[in-house]
Amino acid sequence: MRAAIVILVLAAVAPAVAAGQQPASTVARAVGDLEASLLKKIAASPAEPSAYLELASLQIEFEAFADAEATLLRARQALPANKDVALKLATVYGRREQFEKAMAILDGVAQRDPSDAEIQQMMAAWYHEKASKDKTLATAQRLTYVGKGIDATNRALAIRPDYIDALVYKGILLKLRAELTTDPAERTRSAAEADALLKRARELREKKSG
């Protein structure tokens, strides 16, 4: 793990090292010291999440995703119900393009706290991102993800009916459904519902700002 991070750090600072602004040995030593310090904290307090999260953040920053996954899986063993650890692990899977694993993590967080509207909205945003940007997906799969995203916004709105972000995302997802479907009736219905939701979101935003 240390070697992977050191190599990545050295690659990131190679121009500065080449220019003589920052010795490579200094960078490597600093990274090694930080990693050792964090590992020491984890060993001393295995039920404290902060050191795991800091180490995983360092690993993610330098794209050492396998190391970050290992760190966070270790954290989950010690802290199986910790939301921050779970969300960080979902981020790692997302960055590694392991979408289904990321969504399974988010779904587990949502099931542990059915009153958490934010996690439902996060799931909706991830489904929208996947359905709208991954052009390698078949249309049927994109529509499946759109439907799951809409379901997530519905759960968020059931918890918080005036949740503006959920209203906006449901509207955007419905517009995407209208674009993808070949059923004219469904296209018209989805587009009309989307317009109504986005109008409602604008009204709420204006009321809140006013």
pLDDT 10s digits, 15-54 = 444 455 555 556 566 667 888 899 999 999 999 999 999 9
Q: Considering the chain, what percentage of its residues have pLDDT values greater than 90?
A: 80
Q: What's the CATH superfamily of 113-210?
A: Tetratricopeptide repeat domain (1.25.40.10)
Which residue, among 8, 10, 36, 34, has the nearest Cα to 23 in the 3D structure?
10
Q: What per-residue confidence (pLDDT) applies to 17?
A: 43
How many Å apart are CA 41 and CA 65, to the nearest integer? Answer: 21
Q: How far apart are CA 176 and CA 174, in angstroms?
A: 5
At residue 88, does pLDDT exceed 90? yes
Mean of pLDDT values over 124-135: 97
User: Which regions of the chain carry the CATH code 1.25.40.10?
Assistant: 1-112, 113-210
Whether 67 has a pLDDT exceeding 70, the answer reads: yes
pLDDT at 6 over 60: no
Query: What percentage of the chain carries pLDDT values higher than 70?
Result: 85
Would you say residue 3 has pLDDT above 60?
Answer: no
Superfamily of domain 1-112: Tetratricopeptide repeat domain (1.25.40.10)
**pTM as predicted:** 0.83
Give yes or no for residue 5 having a pLDDT over 60: no
Structure confidence at residue 23 (pLDDT): 59
pLDDT of residue 120: 98
Query: What is the DSSP secondary structure assignment for residue 43, as one 8-state letter?
Result: H
Distance between CA atoms of residues 81 and 59, nearest Å: 22
What string of DSSP letters covers 139-191?
A: HHHHHHHHHHHHHHHHHHHHH-TT-HHHHHHHHHHHHHHHHH---HHHHHHHH
pLDDT averaged over every residue in the chain = 89
CB 52 within 8 A of CB 42: yes
C-alpha distances (whole Å) from 49 to each of 84, 85, 142 are: 8, 7, 36
Mean pLDDT over residues 97-102, rounded? 97
Q: Provide mean pLDDT across the span 50-77.
A: 95
Q: Look at residue 163 in the predicted model and tell me its pLDDT.
A: 98
Q: Which one is predicted more confidently, 94 or 19?
A: 94
Q: Quick one: average pLDDT of 180-198?
A: 97
